[in-house]
C-alpha cells in the first residue's frame, strides 16, 4: 500500500501540511556508503523554492533541509548507512489568516471539496496536504536518488507555457540554467516573460508542459507488465499536484504515425553496441529501458488560485463566490521542473535496485 | 512489489506466455458473496477476442475462460468466497513456426531487444510475455472488478484512428456496440473502415486513441499524494502494451487554458448535492473523485509487426532486415478498448475497497 | 498487501481449494536462466505427499505438478526467463461426500467457524482454502527458491511427536531420509512408530515440533527493524496451517539464560573469517544473518480431525456433536517438515534478492 | 517492501538512530476524525521510558513526543485528518563517548558484526538503528492504533524473569500497574526484585517472557494463508529487538496435547452467540479471530550489554575482549511489555481496516 509512499526498494514516504510546524520525508532502502550532504540536497531545493522571480509565488520559505538519520560521518564525509534517511524542513512563512475566509468554501479546481467528501474533515490552512509544498520533500528525496544512479543524468525543461511552445530547434541545455523558466529556448523565455507579466497582473494563471530526460540509463531497467518503466514514470508524474497528462517518447503523436514511422530501427554501432536510429519509444520498449535517453513529458494545469471571483458552494451547501487573496503562482508549471526531475530520479533509482536484485548486475 | 501484480486490496496477478500451454490470472481480495459466472466473464473476453473483423489479427483463439478457485455454489449461483479466484485460458492457435525466423532478430518497436538485455534469455515464440495476449487475463479480471462496484458504469470508446478523430458532437454510446471499432461516431467508423483497409493491404499499421469513462463513482474515492486516483489510472493505462500517453479530463489541453477556464465552478443542485458546471478535471481533484464522470484517454502506438522489411540487428550483432510474416493487427488500438475498460474497473474496485477500509463507507 | 502472497522480490501467490479442480501458485521475481524441471519439483512434492506410510492420511493424491509459464527451453534444458512461473496441480482424490455431514457444523479446532464469521460463506468441502492441501503449492515454490540460492542447504527434521522428543545427541541427517518421520534420531523414530499406532487406532491425533536449518547463508542477509530475517522466518512458519509457535536459535530457553551464557562469543578463524563459539542466536543478530546456520523450530498442533465425537454448534445456532469420518492424519506435523523447509527457502531467496538489490552483492 | 515499515492499511514507518538528533515515525492510513493528543501518547511512552526503577537502564530520556502532521483542531480537540501523522522524539541524553571504545569491536550478541557485514558501515554510537530506542516510536504509533479499535483492550504482562515464572493462579491485571515489572502476580514481583538486584550488581543480565492479550476482538479479523492474524502477530513480536520466540494460545505446549484436548469445543451461549469452552487456540483459528481473547507470548533474550569482559574480534580481524561501560538494563524484557502491547495494537488496527475494506463491516 502506498498512499503516501512511492517506490519499492528505494522508497520515499512524505508527511506534513503546508501550515503545520514542518514537512518531511523518510527515504528507505538507500544503498550504504553513498556520500550525501545537506548542502547538495539544498541545491536542488533552491531550484524549486518559491519567490525567486516575479513569475512564482512570493511566499518566502528558506526551505532549509535537515538530515535527521541514516547517515554516519567517516573522515569528514557524511555517508549513508543503509538505514532510513529522515529529511525535515521547517515551515516558516505560513500566513494562515490568508486562508480564514476560505475555511468553509470549496475553491474550484482545488481539492477542498474532495478532501471533505472523503474524510469529513480537512486542514484548510494553506490547503494542508494538498498544497504543492509537499513537493519540496520529493525534491530532497530526489537528490538522494541521484546518488544511487550516478551514471544517469536527469534533467528537465519547461517546453510550453500556456499555448506558447518552445522551438525545439533552439534547444540548449545550458540555457535552462540561465533563465527563470528552465527554458531550453532563450527566445521562448523572453516571450514567456512578457506573456506571464500579463497573466500575473490580470490575477489569472496558465498551465505548462515540462519535459524530463534521463541520459545514461543502460538497457535492461524496468520490468514487464505491471512494473513497466514507463508505467512507473507515468505514475510518478501524475502524482505531482496539478498534473493532468503524461506521455513517453512520441506520446500522443504516436497515434498518428504508421508502424514504419514509429518503430525505431536499429544498426550496430562502431562500438559493437546496437544503436537506434530514432527514439520514438522515449527509451522504453515493453516496459524496459533501451539504452537510449528516457524521455517523458507532462502537463500541469493552471493553478486554480486566481485573484478573480469564481462561483462555488460552501460547506453549508450555499452558492457563494470565492477568490484567492494569498500569494499565488501565475504558472506553477515552472516550479514543476525540478519536481519532475526528482520523481524521474526516484523511479530510476528504484528500478535500478530492483533490477539488480532480480538479475544481479 | 508488483512486477506482475496490479492493485492493493483488489489485486490481480497475471502469468503466461502467448505460445505456452495457457495464460491466467489470480484475483485476490475480492469481497465475498458476489455472483459471478464464466459466461459473464466470457462476454467481456469476446469483445477483446481477435479475429472478429478484418480489422484485427486473424489469430483464432476461442479464449475460453475457466474459473478454477475462489467460488462456491449456493442455490445454483456461483458466489465468490473471499479467497483467490484463479482464471485460466488455454492457448490453442499458437503458430510458433511463424516466429522461427525472428528467433534471433530484434524486431524494431518490439521488446525483443530489451527482454534480451534485461534477462539474457527470452521466449521469442509469439513474443512470450510481451505479447498482447496477456491482456486477455486483464479483461477477465476486469469483469470481476465490475461486480465489486455495481454502482459504477465503466465504458470505453475508440476516438481516433491514425490521424482521424471522431466528431465529439456525434457521440452516441449505443453506436459503440454496433461497429467493429467501438466508435461512438458512426460516421468516423465508416471513414476508418476505408482507411484501415488501405493500411491493412499495404501491410502497415496505425495507432489510435481510446477514451474510457466511469460514471457513478461517488465523491471521495482515491487518496492523496502517491495513491491518487488519476495516478493509478495513468499507471493502469500505461501498463497496457503499446500505450505511450495518458491524460485525465482536459489533459494536455489544460496547459493552454487559463485558471478561469480550467477550474470547474460549482453550484448547489436541486437535490442538495453540489454540482460542477464543467468537467475539465475529468472527475478527479487532488487525486480524489469529485462525483463527476471519471474520464481518461490513452494513445496506443501502431503495432510494430508490419509486413514491410525494416532495418535491425540480430543477437549475433549483425545488421539485418526483418519483416513480420505472422498474422497481424493493422490497428491494435481497437482491441485496447475493452482492455482499458477492464483496467479502469480494476483501479476503481481497488480504490473503493481501500477507501472503505480507511474511512468505513 | 499479501493475503495470499508471500515474499517481496521473490514472491509466491497461491490459489485453490482442496476439492476444486486444481490448486496452484505463481512464482514471480525469479532470476532468469536458472535450470528447473518438473521432475525436480516433483521430488519435493513427493516428500510431502500423503499416503506414503500408515502415519499420514490415506488420501491418495499423485500431486503431479505442471509448469505452465515462465520457462524456455535452450539446448534441452528448461530455463527460467525472469517472468512469472505458474505451477499447477490437479485435484484427483476429492471425496466431497465425506464432508456433506459437516456442511453446517463448525468442527472444533478448525477454521469453519471463523471463515463463516468473516466471509458469510465458506467452501465446506474438504475445508476449502483452509485445507493443508494448499501447502503442496508452497513445497513446489520452495523447490524453485532453492535454485535461487544454490549455496544454501535447507533441511528439516521432526524433533518431537506428542510429548516425545528426540535425543539431540543421536542427531544424524542421513537418518532423516530413511524413516517415515523425517526423524534425525533413529531410536526416537522407533518409539514414535509404536506411539502413533496407538494414536491412530484410538482415532486421536497429536502435535509435533519441527526444526529447520539453513547452512551456507552468508553474513549480511536480512534487514533491520521490520524485515528482520528471523521475523520473516517467524511469519513464514506461522503461516503454515496448525502452527502455533516458532522460535529461533535458543528461543524460549533464552529467557532463562544469563547474558554471559546467551551471547555467542567470537574468535578469528584460521581462514581469517570471524567464528562464533556457539549459536544461541540461531544464525541471526539484529535481524541479519551471522554466517552461522540459521535454525528455527515450530510447533504444530494436533489435527482437529479426529474420529471421536466433540461438542460444537452448527450454523443454525444449535448445540450438536461432530466427528470426522474422512481420512485423517494422526500427526500432521510429519508432513510439515518439507513445508517448513520450503518456507525457509522462500524467505532466504527473497532476502538474498533484496540484499543484492540494496547492497549489490 | 517493508524494511522499516510495518502494516498495510495502517502503516508505521520508523526512522532514527539512538545517538542522532531525533527518532520518529510516520503513521499512514489512520482513519479520520479520531481524537488524539500528545498527552495521551505520552502516557504510553512513559510506561516504556528508561530510568523509572533500578531495574532498567539509567539513561534519562524524557522521550517527549511531538505530533508534527496529520491532525487538525476542531473545537479544541485535535482530530486525525486521514493524512500521515508524523511523530518525533528528540534524543537528549546520548553519551557517545561511552561507545568510543567499542567503535571497532563487535560486541557478542549485538548486531555490530552483522550490520558491518551487510552494509560495510555502521553507526556504532549507541548501537545506531539496532538500539532498543527505536521501539519508543512503536509505542507512540501503538497509542494511535488503539484509537482505531476502541472496542479492543490490549494489555501485557511480564510472566517470567530468567527462570522464574509467575503463578498463573495469582493473575491480577490491577497488579500490573502497581509494580515496576508489569507483573500480574505480586509475589513473583517480590521475588524478581531480589533476583534482579543480584543480577544487576553482578553486572549480568537475564531474559524474560511477556504475554500480551487483546480482548474485544470480534470473530472475523485476519485473513487466510499469508495474512493470518497469528502470523502477523508473530511477525510483529519477532520484529522487536532481542525477541527469539513467539507463540499463540497453547503454543509449544500444543505439540504435547491430543486432538481431543487441544481443539476448543463450542456451545451456544445464552446470548445466542457461540461460546468456546477453552482457548487453546489463543483466539485465532485458520488465521482468523474467533471472538475469544487473542493471546500471544514472546521471549526476550538477556541483553548482551553486560559489565563482564567477553571474547570477540574487532574490525581489524584481531581477537580482543570487550565489556560494556555504559548504562545497561539488567532485564530488557521489562520494558518490552508496552512495546509488545503497541505491536499487537498495530497488527489489530491494520487487520481491522483490511477486513473492513474487503468485507465491509
Lowest mean pLDDT among B1-10, C72-81, D216-225: B1-10
**In the predicted structure, residue A325 carries a pLDDT above the cut 80:** no
Q: Round to whole Å and give the CA distance between A264 and A250.
A: 11
Mean pLDDT, residues B273-300 taken together? 97
Bridge partners of residue A322, in order along the sequence: A310
Helix (H) or strand (E) segment spanning residue D260: helix D259-262
Q: Which grid coordinates belong to B292?
A: 463527476
Predicted pLDDT at D272: 87
Q: What percent of chain B has pLDDT over 90?
A: 83
Work out the mean pLDDT of chain C and round it to a whole number: 93
Contact criterion met (CB < 8 Å) for A32 and D123: no
Mean pLDDT, residues C21-42 taken together? 97
D2 to chain C, any CB pair closer than 8 A? The answer is: yes
Among D30, D83, D356, the residue with its CB nearest the CB of B360 is D356
B123 to chain A, any CB pair closer than 8 A? The answer is: no
Contact criterion met (CB < 8 Å) for C31 and A1: no
Lowest mean pLDDT among B227-241, C20-34, C52-66: C52-66
**In the predicted structure, residue A326 carries a pLDDT above the cut 70:** no
pLDDT in tens, B172-220: 999 999 999 999 999 999 999 999 999 999 999 999 999 999 999 999 9
A328 vs C282, more confident: C282
Predicted pLDDT at D56: 75
Q: Round to whole Å and give the CA distance between C213 and C231.
A: 15
In degrees to the nearest 10, what's the CA dihedral of D126, D132, D133, D139?
A: 180
pLDDT in tens, D155-197: 999 999 999 999 999 999 999 999 999 999 999 999 999 999 9
Q: Round to whole Å and give the CA distance between C122 and C103.
A: 9
Kindly give, in sequence order, each residue whose CB lies less than 8 Å from that of residue B219, ignoring residues fewer than 6 positions away: A113, A114, A117, A118, B288, B289, B290, B291
User: Minimal Cα–Cα distance from A117 to chain D, Å?
Assistant: 12
Among D162, D223, D251, the residue with its CB nearest the CB of C245 is D251
Mean pLDDT, residues B259-276 taken together? 94
A38 contacts A67 by C-beta, under 8 angstroms: yes
Residue whose entry in the numeric block shows the C-alpha cell 492493485? B7
pLDDT in tens, C220-271: 999 989 999 999 999 999 999 999 999 999 999 999 999 999 999 999 998 8
- Of A217, B288, C304, nearest to D261 by C-alpha is C304
Measuring CA to CA, how many Å separate D321 from each of C261, C273, C286, D114? 16, 17, 21, 18
- Chain D residues touching residue B348 (CB < 8 angstroms): none
Predicted pLDDT at B281: 98
A5 contacts D28 by C-beta, under 8 angstroms: yes
B289 contacts B220 by C-beta, under 8 angstroms: yes
Q: Which of B51-65, C202-216, D297-311 holds the top average pLDDT?
A: C202-216
Q: What is the 3-state secondary structure (H, E, C) of chain B?
A: CCCCEECCCCEEEEECCCCCCEEEEEEECCCCCCECCHHHHHHHHHHHCCCCCCCCCCCCCCCCEEECCCEEEECCEEEECCCCEEEEEECCCCCCHHHHCCCCECCCCCCHHHHHHHHCCCCCHHHHHHCHHHHHHHHHHHHHHHHHCCCCEEEEEEEEECCEECCHHHCCHHHHCCCCCCCCCHHHHHHHHHHHHHHHHCCCCECEEEEEEEECCCCCCECCCCCCHHHHHHHHHHCCCCEEEEEECCHHHHHHCEHHHHCCCEEECCCCCEEECCCCCCCEECCEECCCCEEEEEEECCCCCCCCCEEEEECCCCEEEECCCCCCCCCCCCCHHHHHHHHHHHHHHHHHHHHHHHHCC
A359 to chain B, any CB pair closer than 8 A? The answer is: yes
Among B1, B83, B353, the residue with its CB nearest the CB of D357 is B353
DSSP A24-61: EEEEESPPSS-B--HHHHHHHHHHH-TTSSTTS-----
Mean pLDDT, residues A325-338 taken together? 86
Cβ-in-10-Å burial (0-12, 13-18, 19+) of C167 comes to exposed
Q: Round to whole Å and give the CA distance between D40 and D63.
A: 13
Q: Residue A94's pLDDT band (boundaries 50, 70, 90)?
A: low
**In the predicted structure, residue C54 carries a pLDDT above the cut 90:** no
Closest chain A CA to residue C360: A356
Q: Residue D97's pLDDT band (boundaries 50, 70, 90)?
A: low
Predicted pLDDT at C1: 60
User: Minimal Cα–Cα distance from B181 to chain C, Å?
Assistant: 32
Cβ-in-10-Å burial (0-12, 13-18, 19+) of A286 comes to buried
Q: C-alpha angle D12/D16/D20, rounded to 5°?
A: 160
| Helices of type H across A94-240 | 97-100, 112-119, 135-148, 173-176, 186-201, 229-238
Q: Residue A62's pLDDT band (boundaries 50, 70, 90)?
A: confident
- For chain A, give the longest Cα–Cα distance: 71
Work out the mean pLDDT of chain D and round it to a whole number: 93
C342 contacts C55 by C-beta, under 8 angstroms: no
Q: Which residues of B221-255 are buried (b: 16+ CB within 10 A; e: fewer)?
A: bbbbbbbbbbbbbbbbbbbbbbbbbbbbbbbbbbb
Q: Is 0.90 surpassed by the pTM of this model?
A: yes
Suggest the residue from C141, C209, C220, C266 to mutate for an interface test with chain D (most D CBs closer than 10 A).
Answer: C266
Q: Round to whole Å and give the CA distance between B165 and B160.
A: 4
Predicted pLDDT at D95: 63
- For chain C, give the longest Cα–Cα distance: 71
**In the predicted structure, residue B284 carries a pLDDT above the cut 70:** yes
pLDDT in tens, D221-272: 999 899 999 999 999 999 999 999 999 999 999 999 999 999 999 999 988 8
Q: Which grid coordinates belong to B242?
A: 503499446
Compute how many other C-beta atoms are within 10 angstroms of the C-beta atom of residue A66: 16
Predicted pLDDT at A187: 97
B128 vs D220, more confident: D220
Q: What is the 3-state secondary structure (H, E, C) of C250-315?
A: CHHHHHHCEHHHHCCCEEECCCCCEEECCCCCCCEECCEECCCCEEEEEEECCCCCCCCCEEEEEC
pLDDT in tens, B81-98: 999 999 999 998 666 666
Q: Residue D326's pLDDT band (boundaries 50, 70, 90)?
A: low
Contact criterion met (CB < 8 Å) for A33 and D3: no
Q: Round to whole Å and give the CA distance between B357 and B215.
A: 22
- Chain D residues touching residue C266 (CB < 8 angstroms): 106, 108, 113, 311-313
- Of B214, B211, B360, B218, nearest to B288 by C-alpha is B218
Residue whose entry in the numeric block shows the C-alpha cell 493493422? B330
Q: Round to whole Å and give the CA distance between D108 and D324.
A: 11
pLDDT in tens, D86-96: 999 999 866 66
Predicted pLDDT at A1: 59
Q: Round to whole Å and give the CA distance between B216 and A272.
A: 56
Contact criterion met (CB < 8 Å) for A1 and D29: yes
Lowest mean pLDDT among A289-293, A321-325, C79-83: A321-325
Output the CA torsion sign for C112, C116, C118, C119. positive
Work out the mean pLDDT of chain A and round it to a whole number: 93
Mean pLDDT, residues C20-36 taken together? 97
Q: Residue C94's pLDDT band (boundaries 50, 70, 90)?
A: low
B215 contacts B293 by C-beta, under 8 angstroms: yes
pLDDT in tens, D118-142: 999 999 988 889 998 999 999 999 9
A4 to chain B, any CB pair closer than 8 A? The answer is: yes
Suggest the residue from D23, D119, D144 to mutate for an interface test with chain A (most A CBs closer than 10 A).
Answer: D119
Cβ-in-10-Å burial (0-12, 13-18, 19+) of C104 comes to middle
pLDDT in tens, B216-241: 999 999 998 999 999 999 999 999 99
Contact criterion met (CB < 8 Å) for B299 and A225: no
B166 contacts B183 by C-beta, under 8 angstroms: yes
Among A1, A30, A357, the residue with its CB nearest the CB of C9 is A357
pLDDT in tens, A66-88: 999 999 999 999 999 999 999 99
User: Minimal Cα–Cα distance from D68 to chain C, Å?
Assistant: 23
Predicted pLDDT at B333: 95
Q: Residue C102's pLDDT band (boundaries 50, 70, 90)?
A: confident
pLDDT in tens, A228-249: 999 999 999 999 999 999 999 9
Kindly give, in sequence order, each residue whose CB lies less than 8 Å from that of residue B17, ignoring residues fewer than 6 positions away: B23, B123, B125, B126, B128, B129, B131, B133, C69, C70, C83
C306 vs B32, more confident: B32
Predicted pLDDT at A305: 82
A350 to chain D, any CB pair closer than 8 A? The answer is: no
pLDDT in tens, C329-345: 789 999 999 999 999 99
A121 to chain D, any CB pair closer than 8 A? The answer is: yes
Mean pLDDT, residues A297-325 taken together? 91
**In the predicted structure, residue D1 carries a pLDDT above the cut 70:** no
Measuring CA to CA, how many Å separate A245 from each of A238, B208, D306? 7, 17, 60
Bridge partners of residue C27, in order along the sequence: C12, C85
Residue whose entry in the numeric block shows the C-alpha cell 525534491? A139
- Chain D residues touching residue C111 (CB < 8 angstroms): 224, 285-288
Amino acid at each position: 500500500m502506498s498512499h503516501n509512499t512511492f517506490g519499492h526498494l528505494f522508497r520515499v514516504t512524505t508527511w506534513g501540511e503546508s501550515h503545520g510546524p514542518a514537512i518531511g520525508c523518510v527515504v528507505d532502502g538507500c544503498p550504504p556508503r553513498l556520500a550525501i550532504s545537506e548542502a547538495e540536497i539544498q541545491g536542488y531545493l533552491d531550484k524549486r523554492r518559491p519567490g525567486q522571480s516575479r513569475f512564482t509565488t512570493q511566499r518566502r520559505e528558506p526551505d532549509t533541509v535537515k538530515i535527521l538519520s541514516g547517515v554516519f560521518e567517516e573522515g569528514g564525509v557524511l555517508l549513508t548507512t543503509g538505514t532510513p534517511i529522515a529529511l525535515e524542513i521547517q515551515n516558516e512563512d505560513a500566513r494562515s489568516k490568508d486562508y480564514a475566509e476560505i475555511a468553509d468554501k470549496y475553491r474550484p479546481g482545488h481539492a477542498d471539496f474532495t478532501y471533505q467528501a472523503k474524510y469529513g474533515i480537512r486542514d484548510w490552512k494553506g490547503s494542508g496536504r494538498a498544497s504543492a509544498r509537499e513537493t519540496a520533500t520529493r525534491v530532497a528525496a530526489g537528490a538522494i536518488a541521484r546518488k544511487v544512479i550516478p551514471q544517469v543524468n536527469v534533467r528537465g525543461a519547461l517546453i510550453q507555457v500556456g499555448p506558447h511552445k518552445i522551438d525545439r530547434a533552439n534547444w540548449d541545455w545550458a540555457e535552462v540554467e540561465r533563465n527563470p523558466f528552465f527554458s531550453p529556448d532563450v527566445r521562448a523565455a523572453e516571450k514567456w516573460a512578457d506573456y506571464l507579466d500579463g497573466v500575473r497582473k490580470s490575477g489569472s494563471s496558465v498551465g505548462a508542459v515540462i519535459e524530463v530526460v534521463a541520459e545514461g540509463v543502460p538497457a535492461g531497467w524496468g520490468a514487464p507488465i505491471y512494473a513497466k518503466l514507463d508505467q512507473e514514470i507515468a505514475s510518478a508524474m501524475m502524482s505531482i499536484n496539478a498534473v493532468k497528462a503524461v506521455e513517453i517518447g512520441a506520446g500522443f503523436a504516436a497515434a498518428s504515425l504508421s508502424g514504419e514511422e514509429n518503430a525505431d530501427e536499429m544498426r550496430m554501432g562502431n562500438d559493437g553496441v546496437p544503436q537506434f536510429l530514432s527514439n520514438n519509444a522515449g527509451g522504453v520498449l515493453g516496459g524496459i529501458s533501451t539504452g537510449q535517453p528516457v524521455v517523458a513529458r507532462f502537463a500541469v494545469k493552471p493553478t486554480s488560485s486566481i485573484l478573480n471571483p469564481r462561483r462555488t458552494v460552501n460547506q453549508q451547501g450555499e452558492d457563494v463566490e470565492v477568490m484567492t487573496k494569498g500569494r499565488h503562482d501565475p504558472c506553477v508549471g515552472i516550479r514543476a521542473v525540478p519536481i519532475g526531475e526528482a520523481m524521474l530520479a526516484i523511479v530510476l533509482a528504484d528500478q535500478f535496485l530492483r533490477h539488480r536484485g532480480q538479475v544481479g548486475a
